[in-house]
Amino acid sequence: MTPKKFITLFVVALGMMIPGACDKTGPSTSEEEAKERLKELLNAEDKLLQNQTIRSSHMGKTMKYTVWLPGGYDETKEYPFLYLLHGYGDDNNSWTTPGSPANKGNAAVIAKDYLAKKGVPMVIIMPDGLVSFYQGSWEQYFHEELIPEVEKTYHCNGKRAIAGLSMGGYGTLYNVLNHPGKFTYGYAMSPATDLEGFGKLVKAQKDPLVFPPITLESGTGDMTVSISSVRDFSSMLTENGVRHELIERDGGHTWPFWNACLEKALKKIGDSFGQ
């Protein structure tokens, strides 16, 4: 195809996307309006930004994180944030591995579908948790470096929630119990737990209502994190008056199970943002 023919076809295609552009009897459309309409069409798509980097003094290295921006993301507006944590041995891209929902996460597709159903537009941050269980130096990095940096860069409105699977479920519980005023919701999928350690964090607070609502979701066929350990943890929360729910259903320690969890998590988290 010659350059001249390509330009002609592009102009015709652009005209078809713009009401009135090809209708000689209708109102004329300026070049500026055409460019603005094209910009709107391009911005309607969600964006996945993998392997963004930040230098961490707490970790002594450059750390990676992945960002999902909702369709229609506008830099002049502010958004609530979800921090989505991966499991042991995975990384910041594991929740968004395209074309392989059976073996990895399908978060970008699930989030886009949630938004299409009139869900709350939110920014999803997926940090690289290494094998830290989201504690120690990683905790300092998360709260003192990563959160301030990404919330400034992608414009947080001050509301944030946290969710994760397995080791990320542990990180979710640790964060909502150790930093209770910072999150609107915690959704722990197949979570590893620390009954004694987490119990101390719960009992350290005089008012259990300081903790955000928590969902625990585990598969009855999980051979990695036993359902009994999650039930014991749920009982401890109940005894101490912590708001939570326990969801048990068929399934194991697998990505299809967690992808299904995420569909519910986004709805509950979106509702917690109060928008």
Q: Domain 48-272 adopts which CATH fold?
A: Rossmann fold (3.40.50)
In angstroms, rounded to a whole number, what is the distance separating the alpha carbons of residues 170 and 95? 16
- Give the mean model confidence (pLDDT) for residues 191-210: 96
pLDDT of residue 9: 37
- Cα 46 to chain centroid distance, Å, stands at 13
In angstroms, rounded to a whole number, what is the distance separating the alpha carbons of residues 205 and 50? 38
pLDDT of residue 98: 61
pLDDT of residue 97: 79
127 CB-near residues (< 8 Å, 6+ apart): 63, 64, 65, 83, 85, 92, 142, 146
Q: What is the dihedral of CA 224, 229, 231, 233, to 10 degrees?
A: -130
Paired residues of 207 in beta bridges: none
Please state the domain extents for the chain: 48-272
Are the beta carbons of 258 and 165 closer than 8 angstroms?
yes
Longest C-alpha distance within the chain, in Å? Answer: 75
- Matching residue, tokens 């004694």: 196
Amino acid residing at 241: G
- Is residue 206 exposed (0-12), middle (13-18) or buried (19+ Cβ within 10 Å)? exposed
SS3 content of the chain, % helix, strand, coil (to 5): 40, 20, 35
pLDDT of residue 150: 98
- In this model, does residue 275 exceed pLDDT 70? no
Give the percent of the chain with pLDDT over 70.
83
